[in-house]
């Protein structure tokens, strides 16, 4: 009988929530944004979503087979990477671009580092940035949303951030028509990447993650708070040249970035203080790149840069251990 007994170190019970549960919850939370994307951009968006997701999963399986590791695609992390990558691509991306992105995300962004948990950079963002730099034309061709059933064709245009940046560069002040559509931007009626357009759908998904206690408030709040504060200051100084904070919030990939990309557990600090520092850093970099940089959108670069700083943040923001005098030796 004794041979059937299990022996182990304490504790002997477990919360029951596993890594794949977490990944499944994240996938579920991304669903509303997927639906909105398909509603506004139609079949092309669906194609991008499918190619990216399946591409990532296939790339992971192939990689692991080649390296002789156990195949772990069942944990859902590759699917999450795939959906997030799709969210960061324009709906008009050709199939080969999407597939290339998927391969870059999984192979360079994740598997060469040893797979799940080891990658220092967010794989989806690595892929996006590689594509953005390698194929700037494909990656910055945007189309106007054409809601399903409205019969409109997809029309090539620029994102609100792009329109604004161009106007500032050419005329020195913001285009007047941009200030109008905050509400429709919030709902998702704007040109942009597949998943970033509808702040509402993203917030719905984020709310679910908060409910499941998979997200903590630290990074999103610090990130968005910093963006609002900093852009607010610039706006107050010169409302002619700099857009208001609400415009910053609802356009571009800020909501997607703050709730889903910057909160990627693997590539962000582990302590609460660290997360706050991370969020603030992302916010500052995003505003700086948006307002003064060469690119109209800075979310991806900001998060990647802070990913790079994560080990350092972790190092200098260790929590104050129980029983340690405040501010002594620790931290």
Partner 1 sequence: MAIKLKTFCGGIHPPGNKQWSAHKPIEDCPLPEEFIVPLAQHIGAPSTACVEPGQLVAKGQTIGAPKGFVSVPVHAPTSGEVVAVEPRPHPWGTSLPAVVIRPDGEDRWAEELEAADPNDLYPEDMVERVRLAGVVGMGGAAFPAHVKMSPPPEKKIHTLIFNGVECEPYLTADHRLMLEEPERILQGIALLRFIYGAERVVIGIEANKPDAIALLQAECKDTPVEVIALEVKYPQGAEKQLIAAVTGTEVPSGGLPMDIGVAVQNVSTAAAVTDAIIYGRPLIERICTVTGSAVREPKNLRIRIGTPLSHLVAVCGGLLEEPGKIILGGPMMGFTQTSFDVPAVRGSSGLLLLREEEVVCQAEGPCIRCARCVQGCPMHLLPTTIAAYARRNLVAEAAEYRAMDCIECGCCSYNCPATIPLVQAIRYGKAAIIAKKRALTL
Partner 2 sequence: MVDLFVILVSAIFVNNFVLARFLGICPFLGVSKKVETALGMGMAVTFVMTVATVVTWFVQYFVLIPFGIEYLQTIAFILVIASLVQLVEMVIQKVSPVLYQSLGIFLPLITTNCAVLGLAVLNIQKDYTFLEGVTFAIGAALGFTLALVLFAGLRERLELSAVPPSFRGTAIALITAGLLSLAFMGFAGLVKG
Partner 3 sequence: MLAAILSLGCIGLVAAIALGFAAKKFAVEVDPRELAVLEVLPGANCGACGFPGCAGYAKALVAGKIDLNQCPPGGAELVTQLANILGVEASAAAPEVAVVLCQGDNHRAQLKYRYLGLEDCTAAQKIADGPKSCPGGCLGLGSCQRACPFNAIEITPEGLAVISREKCTGCRKCISVCPRQTIRMTPLESTVHVLCNSHDKGALVRKYCQIGCIGCHICQKTVPQAYRVENFLAEVVYEEHLVAMEAIDKCPTKCIRDFATGYPDGSSLLPSTDPEKSDAA
Positions touching partner 1 (CB under 8 A) are 1-2, 4-15, 17-19, 21-22, 72, 75, 77, 114-118, 214, 216, 265-268, 270-272, 275, 314, 318-325, 330
Q: 72 or 157, CB closer to partner 3?
A: 72
Q: Decide which of partner 3, partner 2, partner 1, none touches 126; Cβ closer than 5 to 8 Å per partner kind.
A: partner 2
Q: 6 or 292, CB closer to partner 3?
A: 6
Minimum CB distance to partner 1, residue 319 (Å): 5
CA dist., res. 156 & res. 159, Å (int):
10
15 is a site residue for partner 3 (CB under 8 A): no
Beta-carbon contacts of 249 under 8 Å, excluding residues fewer than 6 positions away, are 199, 224, 227, 228, 255
Interior angle at CA 9, CA 7 and CA 14, nearest 5 = 95
Contact assessment for residue 244 and residue 304, using Cβ atoms and an 8 Å cutoff: no
CA dist., res. 178 & res. 196, Å (int):
18
Minimum CB distance to partner 3, residue 13 (Å): 13
285 is a site residue for partner 2 (CB under 8 A): yes
Contact assessment for residue 56 and residue 85, using Cβ atoms and an 8 Å cutoff: yes
Using CB under 8 A, count the residues that bind partner 2: 36
| Binding residue (CB under 8 A) for partner 2 from 39, 113, 135, 210 | 113
Q: For residue 107, give the DSSP letter.
A: I
Decide: helix, strand or coil at residue 157: strand
5 is a site residue for partner 3 (CB under 8 A): yes
Residues that bind partner 3 (CB under 8 A): 2-9
């Amino acid at each position: 009988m004794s041979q059937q007994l299990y022996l182990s170190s304490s504790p002997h019970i477990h919360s029951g929530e596993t890594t794949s549960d977490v990944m499944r919850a994240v996938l579920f939370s991304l669903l509303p944004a997927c639906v909105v994307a398909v509603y506004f951009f139609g079949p092309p968006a669906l194609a991008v979503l499918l190619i990216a997701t399946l591409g990532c999963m296939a790339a992971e399986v192939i990689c692991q087979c080649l390296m002789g590791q156990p195949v772990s695609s069942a944990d859902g992390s590759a699917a999450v990477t795939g959906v997030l990558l799709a969210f960061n691509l324009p709906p008009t991306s050709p199939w080969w671009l999407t597939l290339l992105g998927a391969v870059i995300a999984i192979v360079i962004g994740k598997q060469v580092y040893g797979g799940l948990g080891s990658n220092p950079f967010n794989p989806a963002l690595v892929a996006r940035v590689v594509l953005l730099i390698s194929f700037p034309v494909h990656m910055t061709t945007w189309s106007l949303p054409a809601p399903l059933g409205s019969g409109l064709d997809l029309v090539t245009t620029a994102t609100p951030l792009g329109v604004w940046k161009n106007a500032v560069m050419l005329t020195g002040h913001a285009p007047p028509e941009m200030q109008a559509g905050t509400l429709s931007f919030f709902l998702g009626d704007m040109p942009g990447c597949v998943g970033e357009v509808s702040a509402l759908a993203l917030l719905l998904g984020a709310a679910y993650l908060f409910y499941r206690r998979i997200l903590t408030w630290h990074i999103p709040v610090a990130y968005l708070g910093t963006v609002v504060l900093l852009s607010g200051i610039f706006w107050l100084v010169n409302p002619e040249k700099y857009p208001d904070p609400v415009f910053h919030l609802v356009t571009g990939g800020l909501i997607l970035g703050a709730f889903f990309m910057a909160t990627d557990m693997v590539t962000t600090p582990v302590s609460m203080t660290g997360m706050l520092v991370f969020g603030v850093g992302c916010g500052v970099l995003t505003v700086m790149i948006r307002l003064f940089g060469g690119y109209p959108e800075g979310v991806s670069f900001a998060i990647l840069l802070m990913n790079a700083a994560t080990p350092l943040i972790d190092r200098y923001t260790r929590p104050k251990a129980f029983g340690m005098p405040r501010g002594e030796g620790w931290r």
